[in-house]
Amino acid sequence: MIFRTSESLTLPKAEESFFSDLLVVGGGCSGLAAISAAADLGIENSLLLEKEERLGGRLGKSTEGISGLFSKAVQPKELLSHFSLFLENYEVPHRVGVEVEEIYLLSGKEALSIAHTQDEASAYRYLLKAKTKEGSCFFIGKALVLAVGALTPEENAAVSALIEEEKNTGSPRLFPAGQSLAPSQSIAEAVQSGGAAGRMVGEMLLKEKHKQGF
């Protein structure tokens, strides 16, 4: 995954892009927890992207019981079933087989140029270029939760630089979660980390809607 400045971006057309309030990259335990927490707060225009052909990440592979989340230990596949049922009941959009290759931080002017007919266009902050079986596509969001597992040193440095850049705006929109935040996190810690990120983003988006009178 490459993090780029928008100066190197050829802007896609609005009809070539998918717009969301919240984009969650990574459909493992922390990504599932993040988008579930946001949906539970009432965030409807969200999208979960997973590069594999099925959701779950470590939840689909581990056989060790998970403690610390409920009153008793739960099996990973049970927790995955819980998340899957939640996504189904809340009708949370998600796509598998989508590999995010490049992430761009947009300026307000660039967001307007892409969206042009979209409401609140200047609020869109991140553009993701992804690869699917059908070819390349673009996803544009107001906030981004990054839950892709442990980052390389180069990716971690790039994420840290983006977070620092966003601090200057007074409105951070990039939230690493799970092993993208701390590589040594257990499944239980990653779920808690993802849930915290999802609630933080959800509350931020709800406050913005309230200010705009929605």
Tell me the three-class secondary structure of 155-194, residue by residue: HHHHHHHHHHHHHCCCCCCEEECHHHCCCCCCHHHHHHHH
Does this model's pTM top 0.95? My answer is no
Find all residues with CB under 8 Å of 8, minimum gap 6, and list them.
none
Containing 206, the helix (H) or strand (E) segment is: helix 187-211
pLDDT-derived band at 125, boundaries 50, 70, 90: confident
Q: List the one residue out of 151, 142, 138 whose CA is nearest residue 169.
A: 142
Q: Which residue has the tokens 């459909």?
A: 27
Longest dimension (CA), the chain: 51
Residue-wise pLDDT for 18-47, tens only, equals 899 999 999 999 999 999 999 999 999 999
Reference 38, options 150, 165, 197; nearest CA is 197
* Neighbouring C-alpha atoms within 13 Å toward the C-beta of 18: 18
Q: Which residue has the higher pLDDT, 77 or 211?
A: 77
What is the average per-residue pLDDT within 127-152?
A: 93
Pick 178 or 16 by higher pLDDT: 178
